[in-house]
Structure 1
Amino acid sequence: MRFTAYEQLPQEARALREEVFCREQGFQEEFDETDRTAYHGLLWDDGGQPVGVCRFFLGPKPGTWILGRVAVKKALRKTGVGSELIRGMEEAVRKLGGREIQLHAQVRARHFYETLGYQAYGPEEPEEPEEGVLHQWMKKKLEMENKKIPSF
């Protein structure tokens, strides 16, 4: 599998989001102005087919990035594809100088993010629903790569 980040929303990412969020989950307001300025991540399988998508963009504080619109093809959920998608996005954010990732996760996906090191924050009760689905704010501090200091 291969993760690729794009500065514009690729058609493959749009199609996968429509499949998961609009047709499968019934969301009506899937695309917004953030899509114009966000990076869009796609995870490709070995056959060159898109299997996962997300978007990420600068947050309000320096070094903070917001993750959203995470979707994986239905047939591939619970196979590790989602984890690989998130790891690819985290690496891309690190390369962009990011130190923390925040996301507004669907409550039903909270455990998935917890297994990847994200922690809930904010009100104890889940946030107001987005199009009828409860969401919870979560965050993760990114560990920076250890760079060896040359010995003298």
Structure 2
Amino acid sequence: MEEQGFAVEFDEIDPIARHIVLFEDGAPAGTCRVYWNSSKNSHVIGRVAVRKEFRGRSFGGQLLQEAEQLVRSLQGKTLCLAAQVRVKVFYEKCGYTEAGEHFLDEGCPHVWMYKTL
């Protein structure tokens, strides 16, 4: 959050989301959250983040796989996420497809992406 200059760390979704934390040798390396969004009729993955010192080790992909497993266990069929445009290629490689116009979230360009499980 601080690295990218975002101001909003906690929001109204945190209490209803399931939070996933990936550890490496006992240290937290990355995190994401998953929650149901009725207006999108889909589970949503959000706040995907890997600490700088752990990047380049496929932890982002591991977080997405864990989130997808969680949604499958809940009988979910689709996932969506608001990807930062600068990293949307990462999500495409993980099977997500861009849908819709780019939009700003705290001044950072994002785009909605979807995946059918």
| TM-score, normalized by the shorter chain, greater than 0.5 | yes
Residue 133 in structure 1 maps to residue 111 in structure 2: no
- 3-state SS of the aligned residue for 1:57? strand
- 3-state SS of the aligned residue for 2:57? coil
How many residue pairs get aligned? The number is 117
Where does structure 2 lack aligned partners over 5 or more consecutive residues? none
Partner of 1:113: 91
Q: Distance in 1 between matches of 2:21 and 2:72?
A: 17
97, 102, 111: which is aligned to 2:80? 102
Q: Deviations along 1:107-146, whole A, 9 cap, x unmatched?
A: 11101100000000013xx12x11110000000001xxxx
Runs of 4+ residues over 2 Å off in structure 1 = none
Q: Distance in 2 between matches of 1:119 and 1:78?
A: 22
Larger helix proportion of the pair: 1
Root mean square deviation, CA, Å: 1.5
Instruction: Describe the shift of the 1:74–1:62 C-alpha distance in structure 2 as closer, same or farther (beyond 3 A).
Output: closer
Q: CA deviation at 1:78?
A: 2.2
**Larger Rg, first or second structure (1 or 2):** 1
Residue 37 in structure 1 maps to residue 3 in structure 2: no
Larger strand proportion of the pair: 2
Residue 84 in structure 1 maps to residue 55 in structure 2: no
Partner of 2:51: 73
Give the fraction of aligned pairs with identical amino acids, expressed as a percent. Answer: 42
Q: Distance in 1 between matches of 2:78 and 2:38?
A: 11
Where does structure 1 lack aligned partners over 5 or more consecutive residues? 1-20, 143-152
Alignment map for 1:3-82 (pairs within 5 Å): 21=1, 23-45=2-24, 47-60=25-38, 64-82=42-60
